[in-house]
Amino acid sequence: MTDAWARTIDEWAPDSHTIYFSSDRTGKSSIYRQETHQGVAEQVVAGDEDDYAPHLSADRNFLFYTSAARGTPPGQLRLMKMPLDGGTPSVLAVGGYQYQCASPPSKVCIASQPKGDQLLFYALDPNRGPGAVPLDSSGSVFDWSLSPNGQQIALIDHKDQERVQLLLLGHHTTRTLDLGKWSHLSAQLQSVSWLPNGQGLYLTVFLPSGTTLLSVRLDGNASVLFQSHNWLCCPVESPNGKLLGYSLTEIRRDLALIDNL
């Protein structure tokens, strides 16, 4: 699927044939659903504000997303939920939350919120919102991803984008994933996401020559899947493991000639 406006593929539906994404094709950010073999996307959330970052709840009955007027401070962004079978969206929490849910049969959903130089992780209940007490915390985080079983979070540290940390939720313990040569090339990790089987990660790595997409086992063994001179981001594998969605931003340069200067 090619879309000149789409930002990222945020979520796959359980059928592995439908994706959820946000796009500003109408002048504001809206959330869409589209089957991979169809050329037309269906707008899922209607409204006058910017809506983005759609993620399905663990039971796949609700859609979480962020909503706000353009220019709203991060602390005033609204975390929303909407029943997938129809119904009125409701506000779960106000604040600069990011959120993800594990895969069935796990029922775990996690929301994160920055506080000072820390990122706090909370259990996210689809009816009551984020919990009052953090489950865990980490230092400044550039990107994170919840494992399919809901037990670990893979982290890219904002201050050290050459390594991945694995945080065991609720145990306050982390370990560094050794990426071999990729930890010694002055490469900047841009995004992290789990394989559906939980046995590894997808990483995008930025180098001066372009972006590399890696598949990394939990023992650190990395394989190159794709390389591009353009900016590649945010791979998300379908639940059945047969498709991989990602964003590719193409950089185009035009040459113009001006006469009679």
Domain ranges of the chain: 1-134, 137-251
Residue 77 and residue 97 in contact, taking contact as beta carbons nearer than 8 Å: yes
What does the mean pLDDT of the chain come to?
87
pLDDT given for residue 128 in this prediction: 93
Architecture of domain 1-134: 6 Propeller (2.120)
The burial class, CB within 10 Å (0-12 / 13-18 / 19+), for 101 is: buried
pLDDT given for residue 86 in this prediction: 80
Range 208-220 average pLDDT: 88
Residue 203 and residue 218 in contact, taking contact as beta carbons nearer than 8 Å: no
Token pair in block for residue 217: 């086992």
Specify the length of the chain in residues: 261
What percent of the chain shows pLDDT beyond 70?
Answer: 91
pLDDT given for residue 16 in this prediction: 93
Residues 102-135 pLDDT 10s: 999 999 999 999 998 899 999 999 999 999 999 9
The yes-or-no verdict on residue 193 having pLDDT over 90 is: yes
The CATH H-level superfamily of 137-251 is: YVTN repeat-like/Quinoprotein amine dehydrogenase (2.130.10.10)
pLDDT given for residue 87 in this prediction: 84
